[in-house]
């Protein structure tokens, strides 16, 4: 299966996830407050999980469409 990198890199989901991940990373690295660091970690892991599941869903639908055409 060939990966369509142009489609993946132009995905708004990817850039939203990257921005959210970066925001969480900044929250973790720039403060000594334990609560803020915990929230930053939750943001990072939640963002990564959401993006993975969203892409899997899109790929599943894309694969079904491809399978029907063949």
Long-range contacts of 60-67 (CB under 8 A, 24+ apart): none
User: 3-state class of 33 per DSSP?
Assistant: coil
pLDDT at 17: 83
Give the sign of the dihedral formed by CA 51, CA 57, CA 60, CA 61.
Answer: negative
Tokens of 29: 């690295």
> Which residues in the chain land under pLDDT 50?
67-70
Tokens of 26: 């900044």
Q: Where are the domains of the chain?
A: 32-60
Mean confidence (pLDDT) of the chain? 79
Q: How many residues does the chain have?
A: 70
Element (H, E) at 68: helix 34-69
């Amino acid at each position: 299966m060939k990966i369509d990198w142009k489609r993946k890199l132009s995905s708004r989901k990817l850039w939203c996830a990257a921005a959210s991940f970066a925001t969480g990373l900044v929250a973790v690295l720039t403060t000594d407050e334990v609560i803020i660091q915990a929230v930053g970690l939750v943001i990072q892991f939640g963002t990564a999980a959401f993006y993975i599941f969203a892409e899997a869903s899109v790929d599943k639908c894309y694969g079904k469409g491809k399978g029907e055409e063949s």
